[in-house]
């Protein structure tokens, strides 16, 4: 198997972005009455029509653009890109909308991010949802990956939990790339490696809990233990997504159905899982009809 250096970092990031955006748009189409949604999931009925992507993809686009241009995270440039690209119709959370609006109006990103949520900074899942392509870009240098993930998160999510969520997802994506083409799921060994790179706190504790749930655990049970993004926080989102990826990384389609079956913040959970799993299965592992259904990326 070729080493990580044999594939251009931008190509890796774009592959992850493809999985993230398809997952994001797929999950977004499953909001509605729970009974109806679960019936569609049980029958494996794909959404009809065009799948519109959300803020998850829009922010990931800025990450990939910046990495392609400069090869690293310049926080000032990233803040400007986020603010300039923001389309409120994409479903931005109130915290992100407030921060990015302030940046548009000339407030420094550091002030806007650190003063958010009464001076505590955001511990939401927004930094994690866009982090997989960054992990893919730095897959040949995991230590740098974790440092760059922190920089990318801090622009909008100054709380350590929000930052830890991004670090976990980026690290998971980088480590998933090393398993590209494998027919078996990433498993507990991968999840342990991811955990080891995550700072102490609630996100890491959630990953520890995920390590206690094996492949036979029902997704509904995992969501009950780990959360499924219903609180829209990193601690309530990232451990569940990593658990899904650890056991379904070899099958993009099933990973998406399992993720969306937990309901919760389903566009974001599917985006995170899609951004990681695509790095193992490759573009050919993402159903062509799903890629065609997703709204074209700019």
Cβ neighbours of residue 34 closer than 8 Å, sequence gap 6 or more:
263
- Per-residue buried b or exposed e for 86-100, using 16+ beta carbons within 10 Å of the residue's own CB: beeebbbbebbebbb
Alpha-carbon gap, residue 290 to 150, rounded angstroms: 31
CA distance 87 to 13: 22
| Domain range for 159 | 8-293
Q: Is residue 247 part of a domain?
A: yes
Give the tens place of pLDDT for each residue, 173-194: 999 999 999 999 999 999 999 9
In a domain? residue 298: no
CATH number for 32: 1.10.4080.10
The verdict on residue 129 lying in a domain is: yes
Does some domain include residue 62? yes
Does residue 107 fall inside a structural domain? yes
What is the spatial distance between Cα 230 and Cα 208, in angstroms, rounded to a whole number?
20
Is position 106 within any domain? yes
Number of folded domains in the chain?
1
Structural domain contains residue 76: yes
Per-residue confidence in pLDDT tens, the chain, 298 aa: 334 446 899 999 999 999 999 999 999 999 999 999 999 999 999 999 999 999 999 999 999 999 999 999 999 999 999 999 999 999 999 999 999 999 999 999 999 999 988 899 999 999 999 999 999 999 999 999 999 999 999 999 999 999 999 999 999 999 999 999 999 999 999 999 999 999 999 999 999 999 999 999 999 999 999 999 999 999 999 999 999 999 999 999 999 999 999 999 999 999 999 999 999 999 999 999 999 999 999 9
For residue 1, tell me if it sits in a domain. Answer: no
Q: What is the pLDDT of residue 118?
A: 87
pLDDT of residue 7: 85
Under 8 Å between Cβ of 244 and 266: no
The answer for residues whose C-beta is within 8 angstroms of residue 235's C-beta and 6 or more apart is: 123, 161, 165, 201, 202, 203, 205, 206, 227
What local confidence, expressed as pLDDT, does residue 6 receive?
65
The CA radius of gyration of the chain, in Å to the nearest whole number, is 17
């Amino acid at each position: 198997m070729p080493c990580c250096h044999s594939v251009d970092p931008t190509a890796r990031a774009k592959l992850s972005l493809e999985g993230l955006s398809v997952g994001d748009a797929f999950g977004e189409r499953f909001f509605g009455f729970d009974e109806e949604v679960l019936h569609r999931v049980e029958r494996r009925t794909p959404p009809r029509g065009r799948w519109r992507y959300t803020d998850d993809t829009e922010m990931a686009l800025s990450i990939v653009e910046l990495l392609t241009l400069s090869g690293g995270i310049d926080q000032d440039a990233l803040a400007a890109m986020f603010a300039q690209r923001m389309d409120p119709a994409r479903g931005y959370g109130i915290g992100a909308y407030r921060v990015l609006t302030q940046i548009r109006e000339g407030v420094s990103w550091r002030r806007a991010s650190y003063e958010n949520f009464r001076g505590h900074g955001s511990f939401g899942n927004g930094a994690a949802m866009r982090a997989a392509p960054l992990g893919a870009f730095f897959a040949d240098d995991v230590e740098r990956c974790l440092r760059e993930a922190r920089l990318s998160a801090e622009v909008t999510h100054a709380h350590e939990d929000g930052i830890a969520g991004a670090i976990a997802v980026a690290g998971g994506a980088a480590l998933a790339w090393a398993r590209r083409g494998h027919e078996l799921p990433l498993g507990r060994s991968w999840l342990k490696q991811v955990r080891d790179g995550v700072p102490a706190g609630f996100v890491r504790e959630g990953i520890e809990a995920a390590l206690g749930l094996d492949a036979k655990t029902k997704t509904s049970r995992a969501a009950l233990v780990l959360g499924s993004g219903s609180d829209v926080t990193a601690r309530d989102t990232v451990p569940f997504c990593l658990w899904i990826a650890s056991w379904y990384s070899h099958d993009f389609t099933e990973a998406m159905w399992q993720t969306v079956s937990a309901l919760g913040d389903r566009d974001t959970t599917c985006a995170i899982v899609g951004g990681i799993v695509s790095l193992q299965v490759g573009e050919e592992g993402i159903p062509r009809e799903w890629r065609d259904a997703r709204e074209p990326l700019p």
